[in-house]
Structure 1
Amino acid sequence: MRAFLLTLIIVLVAFVVKIDLTEGTLPLAAFYPKETEELCEEQLEPSYINIQVIQGDSIHSLFAMKPAKVPMTFPERLQLFYQLNPHLQLQELVPGENIKLPLSFGLENLCGK
């Protein structure tokens, strides 16, 4: 009987650890009260400029032409680029297309607009 209980406890602990590692945290009761969910959620968008792509442009050349306002790594800026231009994730830049080029992490609150 002890072996069965010990095995059950080990399996339960392993299951909890697996869920914690794969999902981030254990699903618990609501952390925030419902009142905060009903408030206006802030819509944040990074600062950017609109540019038109010309023949021979690449993401690297665009980032070099228009440097960021604040220091950020290439992967961080690339992540912002794809957030602003999700249609370009599996596509190359097309000459004549207007795209949004991120300049900083400076986020603007669009809630009241």
Structure 2
Amino acid sequence: MRAFLVTLIIVLVALVVKIDLTEGTLPLAAFYPKETEELCEDLREPTYINIQVIQGDTIHSLFAMQPAKVPMTFPERLQLFYRLNPHLQLQELVAGENIKLPLAFELENTCK
């Protein structure tokens, strides 16, 4: 009888470990957004203009020269700027370089 109980406990522990390793202890639904808006947020494409940098331009001066069409905070606009110009991360603006300056988000109709 003792051997049977030990075998049963080992099988149950193995089953719990298998379920924990394959499905995880946290429900996967907690990692995914529930709202449709949150799912569609990554599908937004920014509206931008192409400009050529001149000597002395900074990101601040470019943002001031071309204000955003919709209210955006500076960090949001800076994030868009680096998304459009990934080559400029950790780089300074070089005179004569063409860059994309974000103005607003344009929503696509792919969300349902």
Question: Normalising TM by the smaller chain, what interval?
Answer: 0.5 to 0.7
Structure 2 counterparts to residues 1-113 of structure 1, below 5 A: 26-27=27-28, 44-108=44-108
Query: What percentage of residue pairs aligned between the two structures are identical?
Result: 76
Is there any run of 5+ residues in structure 2 with no aligned partner, and where? 1-16, 18-23, 33-41
Secondary structure at the counterpart of residue 62 of structure 1: helix
RMSD: 3.3
8 Å Cα contact 1:82/1:89 also seen in 2: yes
Secondary structure at the counterpart of residue 105 of structure 1: strand
Q: What displacement does 1:44 show?
A: 4.6
Measured in 2, the distance between the counterparts of 1:100 and 1:52 equals 9
Secondary structure at the counterpart of residue 50 of structure 2: strand
Q: What displacement does 1:105 show?
A: 1.7
Q: How many corresponding residue pairs? A: 83
Question: Structure 1-normalised TM-score?
Answer: 0.58
Measured in 2, the distance between the counterparts of 1:73 and 1:44 equals 17
**Higher helix proportion (structure 1 or 2):** 2
Measured in 1, the distance between the counterparts of 2:78 and 2:107 equals 16
